[in-house]
Structure 1
């Protein structure tokens, strides 16, 4: 009798285990998993607000019923600002967590490592933030798309006004890694095309995150340039601005600077914020389009804080993936690629399109001047530049991008 009871208990336990595993499987089938990789510890100024933007988008999607009848789950991992770690956690997300798609990355060299991973593993990857042109051109592949306007695009937004300054002697300063190198090279190339008599009289390329601001500022001052093109950002930018203000580097000189108008980098300068720099950025306080106003209200209601550019990028990344998955009616890689080529997405910056020829989105950016407004840096005189207006033609892209 005891034997029969024991058998009955074991049998019931097995049935319960099978039912539980079946329920878990069914539950897993009802979830779309987005695997995201970024430099959270190394680049918190951008990634903290970026993560909030993603979370807001996921919450909105799930509140509206999910995607194709499934809830969306976001799984984030830190890459420790290391390409090797980025590839390792990407492998874990794919093999262990069984994510359906990959997105993310901030630093350009890490974005390139994940671009190659996507190609090797035949995995869909939306590079949200890394700016290097190689992601969609020289190293581009059919599995990788990119949201943010690239280095080339942002430099091209600035060059017309830089050329209109009619300054002949230019100096450049940039962080010595992929993004900084490509930004400096693109600026030189495009400015030379617009102003053939321009001269580049000095170049400073400190390591990322390790700028010796005193020596950099002194070297630039010694070259006596008429204007300076800056690519430093984050803590490097703060040190550069502080030392430049102290030593008078910016006095009577035109300054052109990538990213400096983004709240992530302009706000920390506080009363040291410079006046009159030509910059790309995000004047969240003055964008009055209906799309942006709706995003701004939702973001402030949710986080009791104002958005940064990272918030826009994170939000638009998830919204883009949602639009692609909805159009494809699947997370199958080939179907998703087909859906993304020519995909139109409604973002807080207005509609964007992912181009079929290079998988680059047409998201644009704001160009304006910095102003120190009672101890706070803001952008003034800004305008939105549509990304489509600063992208090369399909014919040029064919020469830049390897065949898939």
Structure 2
């Protein structure tokens, strides 16, 4: 496994490129891709496996001979969670390193900055991990595509289950930035459509990775809350569960929690108090399709660790980019855009496609409940929610997305 020190070193700005040694002296020029992401300690459990995912895909693609005889080369940079730095890195990679495709970003503010830069430079950009709605809606552009289901889609997936809970008084806890606010807005809007009897008692906006857990719980204790929608993740989610050991805040409350069933975060919710939480996640051990089991076997063999959802996303994203180059006439930005607009490609989750209207992929996620046994939380009663079933309708997209 890669240590924190090595992971941060790999993601640092000094990293020049990642590709197979046997192409160093090849006569055929490589296809250069630029990868920009937030390789910061707070996101280590997300970003290390994500990087492993696209690295595994890179090695496989190049071992097969690359794309039309050309190997892929990835030049990776660490934006350190700073949108301005991400923009500067994008410009450097395109103007100085000669990349003609950008991908990456987990934080929505970074993704929006990269999207703006890519559209200004007229370079394709695939947002690989962000859940931002704006990136394909209000601030969508011709050159930007999004891989994972956006916030509207994943909250709507959860509402199908949350609406069945026999509770009325709800509170929301979310990080205080674009993703958190849109997650709460969409969850409330979708719940109100099917459960107009619900009362929204309280909202908590936690500064990202700077949550004051004691004050947060103190403000919520006397609100007679029956259910909670949670959109916090990573270190913030761990803090919430840690304070519960003292305050017993979650006892007797129904909880609906984004991403908490993903391997990156499930350790934080490995507690009896989290039993029966409704979550989105990735029960990789239980998915028995041939394509998925082949991915798991290759990933474990290569990195001596189990895959996470981020690893899967990195792997799928690079295969999407490779498929676009394969379907492109000449690999120029305009032909790559044309190839991406109606792209179909195979993945460990089956066939995934992009639709031209908003550049959103059909990649879905798994919805289920947490079950605590043998000292750990696991997902149970899960199913795969295909992203295409939760897309905004075409008429809605036309209303909210800028016309090209």
TM over 0.5: yes
> How much has 1:27 moved relative to structure 2?
5.0
Distance 1:273 1:208 in 2: 24
Instruction: Give yes or no for the alignment of 1:138 onto 2:138.
Output: yes
CA deviation profile, 1:73-98 (whole Å, cap 9, x unmatched): 11110001000010011111111111
Q: In the alignment, which residue of structure 2 is the partner of 1:73? A: 73
> How much has 1:333 moved relative to structure 2?
0.6
Q: In the alignment, which residue of structure 2 is the partner of 1:64? A: 64
> How much has 1:25 moved relative to structure 2?
12
> How much has 1:65 moved relative to structure 2?
0.7
> How much has 1:304 moved relative to structure 2?
1.1
CA deviation profile, 1:210-266 (whole Å, cap 9, x unmatched): 111112122222111110000010010001012124312221211000011111111
SS in 2 for 1:68: coil
> How much has 1:67 moved relative to structure 2?
0.4
Equivalences, count: 381
Does 160-169 or 131-140 show the bigger shift?
A: 160-169
Distance 1:368 1:177 in 2: 26
Greater C-alpha radius of gyration:
1
Instruction: Give yes or no for the alignment of 1:41 onto 2:40.
Output: yes
Q: In the alignment, which residue of structure 2 is the partner of 1:147? A: 147
Distance 2:140 2:82 in 1: 20
Q: In the alignment, which residue of structure 1 is the partner of 2:29? A: 30
Q: In the alignment, which residue of structure 2 is the partner of 1:14? A: none
Alignment of 1:114-193 (within 5 A): 114-193=114-193
Query: Mind listing any 5+ residue stretches in structure 2 that lack a counterpart?
Result: 1-22
Q: In the alignment, which residue of structure 1 is the partner of 2:234? A: 234
Distance 2:384 2:137 in 1: 24
SS in 1 for 2:221: helix
Distance 1:277 1:167 in 2: 14
Normalized against structure 2, the TM-score is what? Answer: 0.91
Distance 2:375 2:176 in 1: 31
Q: Would you say the 8 A contact 2:250–2:273 is kept in 1? A: no
Q: Would you say the 8 A contact 2:163–2:194 is kept in 1? A: yes
Normalized against structure 1, the TM-score is what? Answer: 0.91
CA deviation profile, 1:146-193 (whole Å, cap 9, x unmatched): 101111110010001111113211000000001111101111111111
Alignment of 1:216-255 (within 5 A): 216-255=216-255
Query: Residues 36, 244 of structure 1: CA spacing in aligned structure 2 closer, same or farther, 3 A cutoff?
Result: same
Q: In the alignment, which residue of structure 1 is the partner of 2:18? A: none
Query: Residues 107, 67 of structure 1: CA spacing in aligned structure 2 closer, same or farther, 3 A cutoff?
Result: same
SS in 2 for 1:223: coil
Q: In the alignment, which residue of structure 1 is the partner of 2:294? A: 294
> How much has 1:331 moved relative to structure 2?
2.1
Alignment of 1:5-404 (within 5 A): 30-42=29-41, 43-271=43-271, 274-404=274-404
Greater per-residue helix proportion: 1
SS in 1 for 2:155: helix
Does 77-86 or 237-246 show the bigger shift?
A: 237-246
> How much has 1:271 moved relative to structure 2?
4.8
Does 187-196 or 214-223 show the bigger shift?
A: 214-223
SS in 2 for 1:134: coil
